[in-house]
Amino acid sequence: MSHLPSPFISGEELLAAYTRGERMTIIDSHWAKSENSAWEAYAGQHIPGAMFCNPLQHLAAIPTREYGRNPLPSVKDLQKSFDDWGVKQDRQVVIYDAGSNLYAARAWWVFRWAGVDNVRILNGGTKAWEAAG
């Protein structure tokens, strides 16, 4: 039986990779009820170099009766976001949120659905990064 690699990366592992200067794309996938709250939280504090991802804008299409509340985004829209964020197949992608991993997990799943294999979730989100140093 083969062992699947964990989709998670610890705060310590991420900090070590960051300190070594490893090329990676870090994506902040916070969500908030009010439209600007997630952006304000990102603007106020985020992992250095992290790109902002609003899960409802970047990881879902407009809700419809046919496809539900958070349907998958179009490939065209998702590719534009990937290009804006600097997502590349040869570069590690790390996604995080406020700590619940709920929105980071949605992002991980959408990235995997889109064919991005080298993607991981910062286990514990922002708090794990802060605790790592």
Domains by residue range for the chain, with CATH: 8-132 (3.40.250.10)
Chain Cα centroid distance, residue 95: 3
User: Is the confidence at residue 34, as pLDDT, over 90?
Assistant: no
Lowest mean pLDDT among 44-48, 55-59, 87-91, 124-128: 55-59
At 52-90, the pLDDT tens digits run 998 878 887 677 788 767 778 888 999 999 999 999 989
Mean pLDDT of 88-95: 94
Distance separating the N- and C-terminal Cα atoms of the chain: 37
pLDDT band at 7 (very low <50, low <70, confident <90, very high): very high
Tokens 């039986």 correspond to 1
